[in-house]
Amino acid sequence: MAEDWARPVVFWEIQARDPEMMREFYMKMFNWDISEGRIMRIPAGVGPPLPGPAGQIRKSDTSRIGLYIQVLNLRESLDRAATLGGKITLEPRDTPGGPTIAAISDPEGNAISLVQQ
């Protein structure tokens, strides 16, 4: 039997009560090219960090999966989210030994962490 290796995240999905509204939010928020139709496809992004998304497991009072998206400017991204119907849930803060992060929720309440490029 061949040696196995660490398994990467290969796909993700956003489930929405109002997919058209969510499509507009994510297109404008992150400059994503999202197709139309029943299944709205979002192609992979470009640029660092490479070789792909890393992750972690940590203790929490809730059970959920977090989505971290890299942005050019945290303040501008937070303001854009609020303009597009999202909410700011965490102002920018430095993480110990890591990047500066902030957080928003989309118009349907899904949590999204923003990572300063």
Entry pTM: 0.81
Does a structural domain hold residue 106?
yes
Look at the chain and report how many structural domains it folds into. 1
State the CATH number of the domain containing residue 110. 3.10.180.10
Walk along the chain (117 residues) and give the pLDDT tens digit of each residue: 678 877 667 678 898 999 999 999 999 999 998 999 989 998 887 766 656 666 777 787 877 778 889 999 999 999 999 999 999 999 999 998 889 999 999 999 999 999 998
In-domain check, residue 31: yes
User: Which residues are bridge partners to 103 per DSSP?
Assistant: 90, 113
Which residues span the domain enclosing 41?
19-51+64-116
Answer whether residue 11 is part of any domain: no
Sheet with 111-116, strands from edge to edge, namely 67-71, 111-116, 100-105, 87-94
